[in-house]
Amino acid sequence: MQSPFRIVQLSDTHFLKDDALAEGGEGAYDTDAAFDAVFTHIAANHDPHMIVVTGDIADNGFTDEYRKAAEAFSRFDVPVNVCPGNHDHFGHYSARIGRPGVSTSRVIEIDTWAHVFVDSAAGTLLPQASGTVADPPPPVRLNSNGVLGARETAWIRETCDTIAAEHVFIWLHHPPAAPLGLTEDAAYEAEWRALLSELPQVRGFGGGHTHVPDDYEIDGCPVAVAPSLKNNFSMAPQTWLPPGYRSYEFNANGSWSSDVHLVDDERWPRRPFGSLLASLFRGDISHGELRQIIERRNAERTAN
Ligand SMILES: [Fe+2]
């Protein structure tokens, strides 16, 4: 392989159908503009061998949002491989994202490495009598903080056994055990801790979901969390962040490194965020409660 093998990771692109409202509303970035800015920044600063996109491809899971995403990803002149997130409608995603150069491969082997692409919300899918799986009624998948389920867990284990790669890197939407109250989920964390104890060849994870770029470890295994293109935050200091992406270098000896890149621009100032958003990230209030508080404040403002 070309060593080091260079990958650029985008996550949480949240492409939005032209006449649709952004899920969650308040403060959502123009994700078309964010993609353009990120695409231009990558072209000017990196020379990747492959692009990876780790879920929340579409904001509402509409078929037109996948068409838009696929056209955007087709602009890269290197292969693009994607996996789904909790915002993705699995049926629409599976049917509409593929294009020449844009794929949903689940395993990509590169020399001593196997890159394994996991659906970290697969446990929400409903087995059908036909033998296929179907999306659960909304908002089950949307609200999922990550659930592998028996089928995906078995697939990860069996895949790692079958490919027998020396080094495995897991790409997925929900990073396991992210140190953020909002996304804490003991059951999901336990699924990964059990798998890691059986799969010593796993060298790390690349995820998204939190919209808070971060680096940490689970059971000594490093986890890299990518920035989002919809809205993006820093916890220390507590500020909004511009959209961004991560770059990676994978070496034949199993080592890897990664950096976060943010695309600063006056459209996305690094302004402080208040106690309400801080409460959300700590997990003190839910997204639904946040929405209710904002609606109540807006109504009070209008009344005054
Ligand atoms: Fe997201």
Q: Give the pLDDT of residue 25.
A: 67
Determine the distance separating the centroid of ligand 1 and the alpha carbon of 100, expressed in angstroms. 25
Mean predicted confidence (pLDDT) in 227-249: 95
Residues 6+ apart with CB under 8 A from 79: 50, 51, 101, 103
Q: At 224, which amino acid appears? A: A
What distance in Å separates the CA atoms of residue 56 and residue 86, rounded to the nearest whole number? 6
Residue 211 near residue 228, CB atoms below 8 Å:
yes
Mean predicted confidence (pLDDT) in 272-300: 85
- CATH fold of the domain at 5-273: Purple Acid Phosphatase; chain A, domain 2 (3.60.21)
Q: Is the pLDDT of residue 27 over 80?
A: no
Mean predicted confidence (pLDDT) in 62-81: 96
Determine the distance separating the centroid of ligand 1 and the alpha carbon of 127, expressed in angstroms. 25
Determine the distance separating the centroid of ligand 1 and the alpha carbon of 181, expressed in angstroms. 16
Structure token pair of residue 147: 């659930």
What distance in Å separates the CA atoms of residue 62 and residue 20, rounded to the nearest whole number? 9
Determine the distance separating the centroid of ligand 1 and the alpha carbon of 209, expressed in angstroms. 5
Q: Give the pLDDT of residue 26.
A: 63
Q: Is 122 helix (H, G, I), strand (E, B) or coil?
A: helix
pLDDT tens per residue, range 131-167: 899 999 999 888 888 999 999 999 999 999 999 889 9
Mean predicted confidence (pLDDT) in 61-86: 96
What distance in Å separates the CA atoms of residue 265 and residue 274, rounded to the nearest whole number? 21
Determine the distance separating the centroid of ligand 1 and the alpha carbon of 117, expressed in angstroms. 17
Residue matched to tokens 């959300």: 280
Which of 42, 60, 59, 63 minimizes the C-alpha distance to 51? Answer: 42
Residue 10 near residue 38, CB atoms below 8 Å:
yes
Determine the distance separating the centroid of ligand 1 and the alpha carbon of 258, expressed in angstroms. 20
Determine the distance separating the centroid of ligand 1 and the alpha carbon of 150, expressed in angstroms. 24
Domain boundaries, the chain: 5-273
What distance in Å separates the CA atoms of residue 190 and residue 64, rounded to the nearest whole number? 36
Determine the distance separating the centroid of ligand 1 and the alpha carbon of 183, expressed in angstroms. 12
Determine the distance separating the centroid of ligand 1 and the alpha carbon of 48, expressed in angstroms. 23
Determine the distance separating the centroid of ligand 1 and the alpha carbon of 14, expressed in angstroms. 7
Which of 64, 84, 13 minimizes the C-alpha distance to 42? Answer: 13
Structure token pair of residue 300: 């009070």
Determine the distance separating the centroid of ligand 1 and the alpha carbon of 125, expressed in angstroms. 19
Determine the distance separating the centroid of ligand 1 and the alpha carbon of 211, expressed in angstroms. 6
Which of 54, 47, 67 minimizes the C-alpha distance to 13? Answer: 54
Q: Give the pLDDT of residue 83.
A: 97
Residue matched to tokens 């952004």: 22
Determine the distance separating the centroid of ligand 1 and the alpha carbon of 86, expressed in angstroms. 8
Q: Give the pLDDT of residue 299.
A: 83
Determine the distance separating the centroid of ligand 1 and the alpha carbon of 299, expressed in angstroms. 28
- Burial (CB < 10 A; 0-12, 13-18, 19+), residue 81, is buried
What distance in Å separates the CA atoms of residue 169 and residue 205, rounded to the nearest whole number? 6
Q: Is the pLDDT of residue 267 over 70?
A: yes
Q: At 230, which amino acid appears? A: K
Pairing mode, strands 244-250 and 256-262 = antiparallel
